[in-house]
Chain A
Amino acid sequence: AQSVAQPEDQVNVAEGNPLTVKCTYSVSGNPYLFWYVQYPNRGLQFLLKYITGDNLVKGSYGFEAEFNKSQTSFHLKKPSALVSDSALYFCAVRDKDTGRRALTFGSGTRLQVQP
């Protein structure tokens, strides 16, 4: 079975500082990994995804994520945080070997960027 762990319920960072939101996954085959962001009273917005190839993936709003197969991680990063980045972030995985197309999500990490 596939699963995703987001070990931090909340991450606090000062505006202008780099941020990292952690994600580890467990799959039986090759993973397809996604990051979504959720603002209050809104649905999930797609940020970026890893399918294959370069381990560093660049996405929307200056975010990037690094796929590390040996550590089964896909941490979300941004060089310089903005107050407007404050939101709930979800990591999700899809495992081709399961045959399921639905995403399996982590429990989410709340990012708080202080001015």
Chain B
Amino acid sequence: EAGVAQSPRYKIIEKRQSVAFWCNPISGHATLYWYQQILGQGPKLLIQFQNNGVVDDSQLPKDRFSAERLKGVDSTLKIQPAKLEDSAVYLCASSWGQSYQETQYFGPGTRLLVL
């Protein structure tokens, strides 16, 4: 089966510009996560969706980050305006449901560089 798809793979922007990332989860997966992975660190959750509803956005910097999953499938993550410290890899993951036992499957990530 096809894995989690993300685009673009790389993005370079100037600070204060805006940027958007796209994710298409594995078919049939109701739960979708966005993680931020800063160089040298493990991924950290930004937001979790169950279908098209937000389950956990407690660590999302809401003054500049936003995300949506309108039809419960694809999702977009936006940063506006970007700061230098937003340089990171943005990983999308999906799972079939919300069970604690379930495995999350990750996409290849979008590497963002803010200059």
Residues of A within 8 A of B (CB): 4, 32, 34, 36, 41-46, 49, 51, 90, 92, 94, 96, 100-103, 105-108
Contacts and interface: CB of A to CB of B under 8 A. Distances in A.
A51 B101 CA distance: 6
B36 to A, nearest CB: 11
Which 8 pairs show the lowest CB-CB distances between chains A and B?
A: A105-B42, A102-B45, A43-B106, A44-B106, A43-B108, A51-B101, A96-B100, A43-B107
A94 B42 contact: no
B33 interface: yes
Contacts of B107: 43
Nearest to A9: B40
B108 A92 contact: no
Interface string B63-103: 00000000000000000000000000001010000101101
- Chain B interface size, as a band, is 20 to 34
Nearest to A36: B106
A101 B56 CA distance: 9
Nearest to A105: B42
Given A107-B41, A107-B42, A44 B100 contact: no
A41 B108 contact: yes
Given A32-B101, A43-B91, A94-B100, A101 B106 contact: no
Contacts of B56: 100-102
Nearest to B91: A43
A45 to B, nearest CB: 7
A108 B40 CA distance: 8
